[in-house]
């Protein structure tokens, strides 16, 4: 259930924020309120904005996004790679999910082809090592 909430958060994040971190002007206050409620379910002790008005505190949401991505990386990594770092027969969707998570954590490196699902294993191993260190 928690993993599903985190995946929903990441999907909704892309609706509310563009690649530069700017808030989407088309989302209304009710949508922002629902997003803030989701953020509070994931991390209840933090303040992500004013739920009554729908005002979002972007820095707090950015930090939550980074935490969620760092938590999701080992989970998805273990679904794609076995204990000997060989690729499992997991399907293209899991490879794409791993590439997307890696690319969001570190957009300056190449982690694979998003269209075809081919992985750049070396960069993924390096990122996982950096995140777990």
Per DSSP, the residues of 16-53 read HB-TTSPBPTTS-HHHHHHHHHHHHHHSTTS--EETTT
Query: What is the reported pTM?
Result: 0.86
The total of structural domains in the chain comes to 1
Q: How many CB atoms lie within 10 A of CB 66?
A: 12
Give the helix ranges, DSSP H, for the chain.
Answer: 2-16, 29-42, 58-80, 92-105, 121-132
Q: What is the mean pLDDT of the chain?
A: 91
Residue 126 lies in domain: 2-132
pLDDT one-digit tens code per residue, 79-112: 999 999 999 998 889 999 999 999 999 999 999 9
Q: Quote the pLDDT of residue 133.
A: 67
């Amino acid at each position: 259930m928690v993993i599903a909430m985190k995946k929903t958060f990441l999907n909704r994040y892309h609706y509310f924020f563009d690649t530069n971190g700017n808030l989407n002007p088309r989302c209304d206050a009710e949508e922002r309120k629902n997003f803030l409620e989701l953020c509070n379910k994931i991390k209840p002790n933090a303040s992500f904005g004013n739920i009554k008005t729908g005002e979002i505190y972007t820095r707090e949401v950015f930090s939550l996004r980074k935490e969620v991505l760092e938590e999701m990386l080992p989970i998805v990594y273990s679904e794609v790679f076995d204990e000997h770092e060989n690729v499992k027969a997991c399907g293209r969707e899991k490879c794409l999910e791993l590439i997307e998570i890696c690319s969001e954590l570190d957009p300056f490196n190449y982690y694979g082809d998003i269209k075809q699902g081919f992985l750049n294993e070396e960069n993924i191993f390096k990122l996982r090592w950096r995140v777990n260190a």
